[in-house]
Chain A
């Protein structure tokens, strides 16, 4: 029942101590991570978008310039001039000066015959009537091809333009250096895995892809990309592995190719991952800390509560006992008072008997004999016993009296012997020698006589109890001394050669309810009450003891001054 109560308390404290810090802790971590994630994704996206936009523009510019180069040659030279191999060579040199991207140049008539050619291959005389590019340029007037092999069996792409004057139509065609173009496209670098490449609408590579993918191969990943437009788009395939990429695509203006810039997610979001690891680490370490602290504290608190409960229980019991004792005190005071009335009557009756007895003696002229002596002895004995009863009731009434302390000047030279007298009978029974050394010059002390008597009686009774443990039959002594210490203090010491108090208990003897006596024998209140009394008197109470040898209690009490008394009354 009790154990389960503590378990419940412990569980409540534990869960409160875990949840209270853990909820904000985890929320902070998660929210922080989420915002970091979002902002990193946005930054990464915008970076890659900017790159694809700028790069796309550059490639477009390149293609446009090459077209313009050829257009200029076509317009500024007549048919006769361009089919002249020497003039064409001169023109080609001019072109190459403009851009090293041109590999060769050739001129065709409308039948597809290769009329003139300047370049590393020998393609003169070949007919291109059926080549796909030729048909396109005849139709549209300008054409940029995909990369293809052609007659030369080398991957390349061409730019072709036609010009018509009257009935005459001719075509000029130039090959672009794929290596130079490739470098141009490829040059983008982002992180470790960032790369750029071109694909045509069928997903055929138009430039080398650094990671994997040769010219003219099919890009297997092309299918996942959305259809490209001239507007930049970013695309992150969701729910893939780390090998997935973040893509940015745009379609070129000058050619229906798609520029793809991509970077591995692991690379792009590397910072995120390391942040993630850190967050995890902090979460785990923080969690362990919270858990440990909660476990430790909850156990600590519950243990404390258990101890306090136990102490409370003990205290409660002691209080009940103490209040019972107080009730008993009041009751016995009541009894003592009631007994005083009959005692008074008995006393007066006895006095009358004694008077009458004298008269009787005279009347009958009785002489003193054994019988009359016996009667007188009995009468004296009755008087003695009545007086004894009176003393007992007075003692009880003094003990049971509860009133405000009324401090006054006390002369220890008479006070201490009076107190000692009260225990002298008991001391005699136990064969304890009570010695008194009261200095003749001891000053008056200031205190309530009843209270000081209570303190001294308590100490004397304790001493007798301690002696009865050590010296069961004989050899015990108690010594009471009183001397002035200085101008303000009188010291009373009560020493015995009893069993002593061990060091551990010495610390606790003045605490309420501390007792070494068996249950029911001692309340544990005596010394604590004494301590309180001496404190309120403005004095100090100390104890020195050697286990097995004996104990000395020291009372330092204030000396009586007239001012002192006045002050107390005013207070």
Chain B
């Protein structure tokens, strides 16, 4: 089984540093990015399971980043982190495909808890995909070849 890999995206450098250290100490693999662009760059090269994404950022903001991530990497789970107590932005995030949301200030334990839950969800989906593909192989190879062109993976 894979080890949970988290990407933390926020414009506060100190927040990134401290949280990375904290999670590393607890045994989690954490990457950080200071903005949406950087996060997307990182996603290209590294395997990431869960992205924790601040809503309010200069440049490319959280919601835009979320949409981009979901389009390019539908299997990556995203948790929105909001300083607004505005549930509205969180709701909008969820509607755009975020798994969950966190409201600042939130205890690190909760953050980990939600990240793990998201990771589990992702693993379940991956498992189902594997199962489905296996069944297709058993069924008819021709079908698989035909389907391969227009397969849409469940999210």
Residues of A bordering B, CB below 8 Å:
336-338, 340-341, 343-349, 351-352, 355-356, 386, 389-390, 393-394, 397-398, 401, 403
Contacts and interface: CB of A to CB of B under 8 A. Distances in A.
Contacts of B88: 403
Interface in B8-55: 12, 14-15, 18-19, 21-22, 25-26
A346 B105 contact: yes
Interface residues of B, number: 21
B105 A340 contact: yes
B1 interface: no
Nearest to A390: B105
B83 A340 contact: yes
A486 B25 CA distance: 59
Contacts of A343: 104-105
Given A341-B83, A346-B105, A397-B86, 18 more contacts: A340-B103, A341-B12, A341-B15, A344-B15, A345-B14, A345-B18, A347-B105, A347-B108, A348-B15, A348-B19, A349-B18, A351-B107, A352-B22, A389-B105, A393-B85, A394-B85, A397-B85, A398-B85
B84 interface: yes
B86 A401 contact: yes
B85 A337 contact: yes
Given A345-B12, A345-B15, A386-B105, A397 B21 contact: no
A388 to B, nearest CB: 11
Contact of B83 (A337, A351, A355): A337
A323 to B, nearest CB: 22
B102 to A, nearest CB: 9
A336 B108 CA distance: 20
Instruction: Give the 7 A-B CB pairs with smallest separation, nearest first.
Output: A397-B85, A343-B105, A344-B104, A344-B105, A340-B104, A340-B83, A351-B108
B127 interface: no
B106 interface: yes
Contacts of A390: 105
Nearest to B88: A403
B83 A344 contact: yes
Interface in B48-94: 83-86, 88
A347 B25 contact: no
A500 to B, nearest CB: 38
A337 B25 contact: no
Contacts of A393: 85
B147 to A, nearest CB: 39
Contacts of A340: 83, 85, 103-105
A83 B106 CA distance: 166
A348 B84 contact: no
Contacts of A394: 85, 103
Q: Which of B14, B15, B26, B83 has the most CB of A within 10 A?
A: B83
Interface string B88-123: 100000000000000111111100000000000000
B107 A397 contact: no
A341 B104 contact: yes
Contacts of A355: 22, 25-26
Contacts of A341: 12, 15, 83, 104
Contacts of B25: 352, 355-356
Q: Which of B12, B83, B88, B105 has the most CB of A within 10 A?
A: B105
Contacts of B104: 340-341, 343-344
B15 to A, nearest CB: 5
Q: Which of A341, A346, A355 has the most CB of B within 10 A?
A: A341
A241 B108 CA distance: 119
Contacts of A403: 88
A351 B20 CA distance: 12
Contact of B84 (A337, A344, A345, A356): A337
A352 B84 contact: no
Contacts of B105: 340, 343-344, 346-347, 386, 389-390
A337 B54 CA distance: 13
20 contacts: A340-B103, A340-B104, A341-B12, A341-B83, A344-B83, A344-B104, A345-B12, A347-B105, A348-B108, A349-B18, A351-B22, A351-B108, A352-B18, A386-B105, A389-B105, A393-B85, A394-B85, A394-B103, A401-B85, A401-B86
Contacts of A386: 105
Q: Which of A344, A349, A355 has the most CB of B within 10 A?
A: A344
A340 B86 CA distance: 12
A355 B28 CA distance: 14
A386 B105 CA distance: 9
Nearest to B109: A351
B67 to A, nearest CB: 23
A336 B25 CA distance: 31
B16 to A, nearest CB: 10
Nearest to B19: A348
A398 B107 CA distance: 20
A336 B85 CA distance: 9
A177 B10 CA distance: 146
Contacts of B26: 355
A344 B84 CA distance: 12
Contacts of B84: 337, 397
B12 A348 contact: no
A360 B62 CA distance: 37
B94 to A, nearest CB: 15
Contacts of A397: 84-86
B21 A344 contact: no
Contacts of A336: 85
Nearest to A347: B105
Contacts of A345: 12, 14-15, 18
Nearest to B18: A348
A315 B108 CA distance: 50
B69 to A, nearest CB: 22
A504 B144 CA distance: 83
Contacts of B86: 397, 401
A566 B130 CA distance: 41
Contact of A348 (B22, B83, B85, B103): B22
Nearest to A351: B108
A389 B104 CA distance: 11
